[in-house]
Amino acid sequence: MKWRSILPGLALLARYERPWLRADLLAGLTVGAMLVPQSMAYAELAGLPPHVGFSAALLPPVAYALVGSSRHLGVGPEPGTAVLAATGVAALSAGDPARYLALMPTLALLVGALAVIGAALRLGFLAQLLSKPVLVGYITGVGMTLLSSQLAKFTGAPVAGDQFFPRVWSFARSLDGVQPVTLALSSVCLALLLALRRWAPKLPGALVVVSLATLVVWLGHLDARGVRLVGTIRGAVPGLSLPPLRLADLAALLPTALGIVLVGYTDNVLTARSIAAKRGYAIDANQELAGLAVANVASAIAGGFPVSSSASRTAVPASLGSHTQLVGLVASGFLLATLLLIAPALSMIPQPALAVVIVAAALAIIDGPGYRWLWGVSRVEFAVAVATALSVMVFDLLTGVLLAVGLSGLVAFARVALPHDAVLTRAEGLDGWVDSDRYARGTSLPGLLVFRFDAPLFFANSARFRDRLEVILARNPGDEEWVVLDFEGVGAVDATAIEMLTELVKALQERGIVVAVARANDRALTPLQRAGLVSDGALRVFETINRAVREFEASRPAKAPHPLKGRGFAGGQVATCPPCSSSCAPGTVLL
């Protein structure tokens, strides 16, 4: 049925199996316990009151459970998305708290609308716009930015600035303002949370730590000694309504919304795929755009802010053996019960405890192993990762995202504009034709050049193709009779490249050189046929290199036999070689 493809999550819940229930309930309660402190912490990270985090966490998991293709993705508030949203809205609200609060749901709705359009246009390939080094650099830059954003709450010192380096410099100048009690509480909470993450990963460590910190502050009256509390938490269930929409606001928020869609969607797909691969099911990339869309629309109508997914809230249910997105429904129910039953107690949560939740999340996403792997694989891509991280740390996150995408595109463009090429030869013991630079013992046929170019031929590299071929031909001036172009790596040809090939073939023909193309696919061959290069015989086309080589060998005139060939010996002595046109090495014996 068609609805099953539109609502894959609902389709899975419709055929729910009773043995799944225990694991799903346990995972749902665990994720709900994680959501309580995370929602409040990430709302503050977005520049909002802590209770707004519940608005962004209640409905998105329910909406995604119906539409998403992942059975484990932990949808809801997430630190990187929260900071991106804060960056865009702060510039537009001009310091007006009421306007700031009103613009956040508008931004979430715009993110949802863009994701809907992306899903309708099947733009799932957008997840591939951020390369591995860019992702490593971006997530590390986000982690460092998150760390700097919590310096004030973690230590109690006054810290100014909106980016990483100004904050660190401000903190360094304000060390005398560090509050010992606040710093001690934060340090103990962080150590405990990291220990729970290491030795009890299935426990809701954030909830345990925040609860203990709240108890310690209450018993020790630490708020009187400078420890700041969250303050009043509204216990009312969020109302449902569309946020106010103004065309000018939508236009101003569009760049931020695009950045959130790109980053949030990429993160969702990568996280969902990593878990799905381990659990033996597939992720639909386009359906994940729809899942991101409904999650953000749900957050918007509840008065929340843009959401995506959390790696920790995805990994934990998977480790507990959950089977479906019933986990998200149970987590939302737990969050609702918390809001209705113990909202007043939440006001006693110390700010340093929420800061610890964010610091722990930041430490988890800083990708040190990713940098080490890139250093071993490619120094260029390592440099790209470092540059991406610095761009996020120096500028705001949105600018960092745009620079990262641009840098990724520039690296990709450089690789196809300056691709690898090779002269191919035969190598003893190997089938086919191989790179002569790699196999030094390869043999080539006199008069034949086989040239490979490892990229599509288009405007950015067509001149390089001709230049490289001319350089290689210049090594043996006047000796080459045939040039065979191996098009297996070319794949496609544009108009600029066809014009170049037309001129090149004509120039080579004037020098008496036959030009052939081997192993060309239809996307490369059809434009050449339409340009007349094949039909007028300018280019000879062969299915394989060997077929072209056999034609080359057949086209060469047979050499006359040596005059003494087959005469043997005369009187037991080697026959005397009369003058002839054959080239023989001294001492050659002709039989």
Residue 319 sits in the same domain as residue 398: yes
Choose one of 412, 431, 447: the last residue of a domain.
Answer: 412
Q: Is 565 contained in some domain? A: no
pLDDT computed for residue 440 by the predictor: 64
Q: What is the pLDDT of residues 94-152, one digit of tens each?
A: 889 999 999 999 999 999 999 999 999 988 887 777 778 888 888 898 889 989 999 99
Residue 69 sits in the same domain as residue 152: yes
In the chain, what percentage of residues exceed pLDDT 90? 55
* Span of 34-38, 116-120, 151-155, 238-242 with lowest mean pLDDT: 238-242
Task: Output the average pLDDT for the chain.
Answer: 87
First and final C-alpha spacing in the chain: 81
**What angle (nearest 5°) sits at the alpha carbon of residue 220, between those of residues 214 and 221?**
85
Q: What range defines the domain where residue 43 resides?
A: 2-412
Q: What is the pLDDT of residues 534-575, one digit of tens each?
A: 877 789 999 999 999 999 989 877 554 544 444 443 334 444
pLDDT computed for residue 589 by the predictor: 44
Average pLDDT over residues 403-423: 85
Q: Could you tell me if 304 and 104 are in contact, meaning their C-beta atoms sit under 8 angstroms apart?
A: yes
Residue 75 sits in the same domain as residue 191: yes
Q: Is 464 contained in some domain? A: yes
Residue 265 sits in the same domain as residue 386: yes
Tokens encoding 190: 């962080």
* Span of 106-115, 353-362, 420-429, 494-503 with lowest mean pLDDT: 420-429
pLDDT computed for residue 19 by the predictor: 92
Q: Is 577 contained in some domain? A: no
pLDDT computed for residue 564 by the predictor: 45
How many domains does the chain contain in total?
2
Q: What is the pLDDT of residues 248-291, one digit of tens each?
A: 999 999 999 998 998 889 888 888 888 888 888 989 989 999 99
Q: Give the β-pairing of 433-435 and 421-426.
A: antiparallel
Element (H, E) at 442: none
Q: Is 507 contained in some domain? A: yes
Residue 300 confidence (pLDDT) above 80: yes
Residue 408 sits in the same domain as residue 476: no
Residue 300 sits in the same domain as residue 435: no
Residue 362 sits in the same domain as residue 430: no
Q: What is the pLDDT of residues 491-515, one digit of tens each?
A: 899 999 999 999 999 999 999 999 9
Rounded to whole angstroms, how far apart are CA atoms 151 and 419? 46
2 vs 158: which has the higher pLDDT = 158
Q: Could you tell me if 68 and 9 are in contact, meaning their C-beta atoms sit under 8 angstroms apart?
A: yes
Q: What is the pLDDT of residues 36-90, one digit of tens each?
A: 999 999 999 999 999 999 999 999 999 999 999 999 999 999 998 999 999 889 9
pLDDT computed for residue 588 by the predictor: 45
Q: Could you tell me if 515 and 491 are in contact, meaning their C-beta atoms sit under 8 angstroms apart?
A: no
Rounded to whole angstroms, how far apart are CA atoms 557 and 560? 9
Residue 377 sits in the same domain as residue 512: no
Residue 402 sits in the same domain as residue 425: no
With CA atoms as reference, report the closest residue to 268 among 284, 248, 247, 251: 284
- 308 confidence band (pLDDT: 50, 70, 90): very high
Residue 246 sits in the same domain as residue 331: yes
Q: Is 575 contained in some domain? A: no
Tokens encoding 333: 């129910």
Rg (alpha carbons) of the chain, rounded to whole number: 33
Q: Is 528 contained in some domain? A: yes
Q: Could you tell me if 127 and 269 are in contact, meaning their C-beta atoms sit under 8 angstroms apart?
A: yes
Q: What is the pLDDT of residues 482-493, one digit of tens each?
A: 999 999 989 899
Phi/psi at 509 (nearest 5 deg)?
-65, -40
With CA atoms as reference, report the closest residue to 373 among 198, 130, 135: 135
Residue 381 sits in the same domain as residue 429: no
Residue 379 sits in the same domain as residue 288: yes
pLDDT computed for residue 569 by the predictor: 37
Q: Is 458 contained in some domain? A: yes
Element (H, E) at 514: strand 514-518
Rounded to whole angstroms, how far apart are CA atoms 355 and 179? 15
Q: Is 455 contained in some domain? A: yes
With CA atoms as reference, report the closest residue to 93 among 107, 81, 80, 82: 107
